[in-house]
Structure 1
Amino acid sequence: MSSIGFEKCVSEHGLYVKSCQHSGRQEKLIVCLYVDDLLVTGSCEELISDFKLQMLSEFEMSDLGKLSYFLGIEFTETENGIVMHQSRYVLDLPKRFEMVDCNAANTPAEVGLKLEKEPDEEAVDPTAYRSIVGSLRYLCNTRPDLSYSVGVVSRYMECPRLSHLNAVKRILRYLQGTHSYGILLGRGETGEEVQITSYSDADWCGDKEDRKSTAGYIFFMGGTPISWSSRKEPVVALSSCEAEYIAACEATCQATWLGFLLEGLKIELTGRVRLLVDNKSAIDLAKHPASHGRSKHIETRFHYIREQVSSGRLDVVHCRSEDQLADILTKALKSERFQSLRKQIGMVRAEISEDHTRRTAKT
């Protein structure tokens, strides 16, 4: 790739970028390479066609046309953009795990879900349990609405019990009614400014066994979710402020990586990354560390957010708890709240009309 003018992205080694002058304009080609699968996109169709011809002359390759399926992920073009989903993969799960006739659930987890390791509870087949959870984890690539519930059941892979299996079946029941949901990649305007907005949240002492909190974050670019995470924090937080502060630091690390990725793609970011947090004490701790002696016990690695704020790369902003979109990644919610957040984070249902010629996206 380097011999034909492409540069390897330092932060993501499977990406190659080429910038060149063509017809008096600065054009760009981006290539994503994974083993023997290759995606190419760019700002000029003529350059894309030239690149494909060049590859076909050097290697035995097949041109599959516009992107529709890649590594188990489907891409459906709609009036509003492209929906990235895994419908075919989801529809296969009930057949594999004998839940074809199950009733659909409104949410992937019951409100107040608190699983524990119960040594006296009936054990289940660990191999089957790991197979189901592994399949669900792959779905999290396009389904941020599953991240929290799948993360919780993943904690019991070693010795699963009946209550853990019931929680997994609840997720499968939820998928029964939402198999076509995915992420809408909206159509951007030429020359549109690139801005990144993120949300971080934490459920203080969410795990009843070790009292560790669950942290979650989600990043948006142009209104489209591009990165999200839901995971247990590595240390026990002594307050909700500390839990939120640690979650914000996790989001800050991801923001730094995204900044390097955009730089490698030669995309200029407009302004600072905005991080929205619903805890004022955590924001104050990030902006004014000198006034907080109570932060002395917090591990040094979690103070990375202070450096990013002081250097002007990150803007930490307060938001109301009602507007905290990362809430869906930290706890089990009621149906109304869950569905509202699912819509707000940009998840839609991809539907194909009866004549299979016109596709629409519905929220």
Structure 2
Amino acid sequence: MKIDSFLVQQNFTKCTTEHEIYVRNTNSGELLIICLYVDDLLVTDSSKEDIRVFKGRIMEEFEMSDLGELSYFLGIEFVYTSKGIFMHQKKYVEDILKRFNTMECNSVITPTETGIKLQIDGDEKEVDPTLYKQIVGSLRYLCNTRPDIGYCVGLISRFMEKPKTPHFLAVKRILRYVKGTLDLDILYPYSQKNLEGEVFGYSDSDWCGDKDDKKSIVGYVFKFGTTPISWCSKKKSVVALSTCEVEYIATTMAACQALWLEALMEELNLRDCSPMRLLIDNKLAIDLAKHHVAHGRSKHIETKFHFLHDQVSKEKLELEFCMYEDQVVDILTKPLKSIKFKELRDKLGVTSLTNLN
């Protein structure tokens, strides 16, 4: 018998929004949650007795080991501190640096230079594409816990086919940055008073950020209280004609993620029925999302992007204006100066393990 079939037999319900998660109400009235990856399981519940009973039943059916409290999973480490659970990939980063002979390199305070301009076509010397792809692939997995490198890793990923010297120098700078920030990652606090259950997001974009095709970089980050839980930095497939239009498109992408998060949290009994807040720094885009029929300049925008207007009109999403200096997603859409970068990194929720001891 497969593990997933066993879980169904034990009256677990498979989440429709995230197929590797199974949930079941226990006799104590709590919700037992199982995260299944191939044959590895994460089990959580408010009741330790419910967890103990479940472990006993599944170990009667399958030969498996109980590794105790979560400490290491898929290359991600978890440290229990007095303030909460700290999730990091320090060992993974050290392995990357050793593999590519950069353990002794000098560190830098930002992962990319301000005003960097990388292009596909150029007269620079080509570099080894295999080595380039290996480094970029390793860094992409690190983005699972390090949103502060999301933009720069996305940038260097565009040049996998024929990388050249400037591209490789940009890759090396990221390695130098992560070498100097080994202790940085994300803290999940045990308790967040007055913020319990509140999930909200930020959405932002640059304009014509790609110098080759003039397409824009859009990004979002969703936070549970003070902690980031979902983030993305991505180049869009369309060319925007104005900053209003590209912000509207970026917010539409964030709205899709918000809808998925809402559905997942409802299945986990973690959310009420109030609309999710999404903060953006463009008032015209907010106005366009609320009243797009009245704007002739929006007629050329692809129909799929008006999904945002649909979500706002159904009151499933609430758009809120935030000041430019409070827009944390800037760190996911453009290169920043060191002071601004560190300020937004702190606001994003990336912290150091040494600060928790």
Distance 2:306 2:175 in 1: 39
Distance 2:252 2:193 in 1: 33
- What is the match of residue 34 of structure 1? 37
- What is the match of residue 10 of structure 1? 16
- What is the match of residue 3 of structure 2? none
Q: Is the 8 A contact 1:118 1:161 kept in 2?
A: no
Q: Is the 8 A contact 2:262 2:271 kept in 1?
A: no
Correspondent of 1:254 among 253, 257, 263: 257
**Is the aligned partner of 1:94 residue 2:89?**
no
Please report how far the alpha carbon of residue 291 of structure 1 lies from its aligned counterpart in structure 2 after TM superposition.
Answer: 2.2
Matched residues, number: 351
One-letter amino acid matched to 2:242? S
Q: Aligned to 1:114, what secondary structure does the other structure show?
A: coil
Q: Aligned to 2:187, what secondary structure does the other structure show?
A: strand
Unaligned runs of 5+ in 1: 352-359
**Is the aligned partner of 1:49 residue 2:55?**
no
Correspondent of 1:128 among 122, 127, 131: 131
- What is the match of residue 177 of structure 1? 180
Distance 2:219 2:194 in 1: 32
Distance 2:194 2:112 in 1: 42
Q: Is the 8 A contact 1:11 1:261 kept in 2?
A: yes
One-letter amino acid matched to 1:66? E
One-letter amino acid matched to 1:123? E
Distance 2:349 2:273 in 1: 22
Please report how far the alpha carbon of residue 336 of structure 1 lies from its aligned counterpart in structure 2 after TM superposition.
Answer: 0.6
Please report how far the alpha carbon of residue 188 of structure 1 lies from its aligned counterpart in structure 2 after TM superposition.
Answer: 2.5
Please report how far the alpha carbon of residue 268 of structure 1 lies from its aligned counterpart in structure 2 after TM superposition.
Answer: 2.6
Distance 1:110 1:173 in 2: 12
One-letter amino acid matched to 1:242? E
One-letter amino acid matched to 1:284? D
Distance 2:30 2:306 in 1: 40
One-letter amino acid matched to 2:9? S
Distance 2:280 2:244 in 1: 11
Calculate percent identity across the aligned residue pairs. Answer: 55
Q: Is the 8 A contact 1:195 1:269 kept in 2?
A: no
Q: Aligned to 1:228, what secondary structure does the other structure show?
A: strand
Q: Is the 8 A contact 2:252 2:306 kept in 1?
A: yes
Q: Aligned to 1:21, what secondary structure does the other structure show?
A: coil
Unaligned runs of 5+ in 2: 1-6
**Is the aligned partner of 1:20 residue 2:26?**
yes
Q: Aligned to 2:26, what secondary structure does the other structure show?
A: strand
Correspondent of 1:103 among 103, 106, 111: 106
Q: Is the 8 A contact 2:76 2:87 kept in 1?
A: yes
Q: Aligned to 2:30, what secondary structure does the other structure show?
A: strand
Correspondent of 1:141 among 131, 141, 144: 144
Calculate the aligned-residue CA RMSD, in Å: 1.4
